[in-house]
Structure 1
């Protein structure tokens, strides 16, 4: 998708749940990496979907507005993936109201 001179690529995905085995999670991230690697480097890459990852506030390189205080295992896996691919987790950069259901 083009937005003026900027090019955007969207990836929609649904990660395995926290209870899934490591082999299933590894396969998901390998496939996600393969898809990312096919996108031209000059495109802005947006990963959309349910990553089943709770991103905590303990990571100093993320934004300060995470919904969770501590990352779960899938959150750590997602943080490591994004860091290795030079991606920013935008959901940690926007302040939200504290809404409880």
Structure 2
């Protein structure tokens, strides 16, 4: 049986059974934009950290959504979090996302592999 929970207007989680003792937790987010005040961004990331902390370590975890972030191409600071196929420069929302990924041992997968230029964002 799936279990859905809306944490806020920006965070929703769903826990799905994969087999008898295995589960997947999907967290879908819509992060504040760059123009939002820092306190809104901090509140969002604090809430997301709380949600991530509540996910059982044995669950398969997918964190998806619109982070309104650019993480750029320089992976020297975040080699375990991002690949080498990003574009542009990191913005402040990107720094928040990368720090969160580092804290929770998550990987930004869409830049781990080479993509055609028309698929890069």
Answer yes or no: is 1:78 the counterpart of 2:97: yes
Question: Which 5+ residue runs of structure 1 have no aligned equivalent?
Answer: none
Q: What's the counterpart of residue 53 of structure 1?
A: 69
Q: Secondary structure at the match of 2:101?
A: helix
Q: TM-score, normalised by structure 1?
A: 0.87
Query: Counting helix residues as a fraction of each chain, which structure ranks higher?
Result: 1
Q: CA deviation at 1:44?
A: 1.8
Q: CA deviation at 1:94?
A: 2.6
Spell out the pairing of 1:30-69 with structure 2 (5 A cutoff).
30-60=46-76, 61=79, 62-66=82-86, 68-69=87-88
Q: In the aligned structure 2, how far is the partner of 1:20 from the partner of 1:98?
A: 30
Alignment RMSD (CA, Å): 1.7
Question: Which 5+ residue runs of structure 2 have no aligned equivalent?
Answer: 1-15
